[in-house]
């Protein structure tokens, strides 16, 4: 991993789609260009395989928990590029449906996040990563998510309210 962090163009929208299990089935050209991976390296890979090592499992636990309840997830996610660089996104994840009305997969729309938000959430995520160290992945994700919920609750917010407050202020 490099220390270089890319900043997305404010007019650029990165789009991916996954199947129900989180395997990538579509990536738009903007996503491919920013990530530096080619289609063959991305398709059928799990979406989380491109997350940055700074990202706590608890955030992805929250994301999956939310979308599996047929709700939208909005959050700050940090990804790694093929060359080791990284980039932050404000990510909206929504289920998409097949003709029978069942969830067929998930669409991820990613854009440039508010800089103040990434600064704040990177501190939260660092604490969550510390919480996860030395624990099994499932219990660590739940315990780090609880830590985040407690931190935000002490400020009178939940994750979604905090995300929107920072992104659109």
Percent of the chain past pLDDT 90, that is, above it, reads 80
- Tell me the CB-side half-sphere exposure of residue 68, using CA atoms within 13 A: 9
Q: What is the CATH number of domain 5-167?
A: 3.30.450.20
- What is the predicted pLDDT for the residue at 164? 87
Q: Dump pLDDT digits (tens) for 66-90.
A: 999 999 999 999 999 999 999 999 9
| Chain position carrying tokens 């991820």 | 108
The H or E element spanning position 5 is strand 5-6
Average of per-residue pLDDT across 11-35: 96
Q: What is the pLDDT, as a whole number, of residue 119?
A: 94
Domain boundaries, the chain: 5-167
Predicted confidence (pLDDT) per residue in 102-128, tens digit: 999 999 999 999 999 999 999 999 999
| 34 close to 6: Cβ distance less than 8 angstroms | yes
């Amino acid at each position: 991993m490099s220390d270089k962090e890319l900043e997305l163009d404010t007019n650029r929208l990165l789009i991916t789609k996954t199947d129900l299990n989180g395997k990538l089935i579509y990536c738009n050209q903007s996503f491919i260009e920013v990530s530096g991976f080619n289609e063959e390296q991305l398709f059928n890979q799990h979406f989380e395989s491109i997350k940055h090592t700074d990202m706590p499992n608890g955030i992805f636990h929250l994301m999956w928990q939310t979308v599996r309840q047929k709700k939208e997830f909005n959050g700050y996610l940090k990804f790694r590029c093929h060359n080791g660089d990284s980039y932050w996104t404000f990510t909206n994840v929504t289920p998409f449906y097949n003709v029978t009305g069942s969830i067929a997969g998930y669409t991820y729309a990613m854009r440039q996040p508010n800089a103040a938000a990434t600064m704040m959430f990177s501190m939260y995520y660092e604490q969550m990563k510390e919480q996860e160290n030395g624990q099994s992945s499932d219990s660590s994700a739940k315990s780090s998510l609880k830590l985040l919920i407690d931190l935000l609750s002490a400020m009178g917010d939940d994750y979604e309210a905090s995300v929107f407050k920072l992104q659109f202020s």
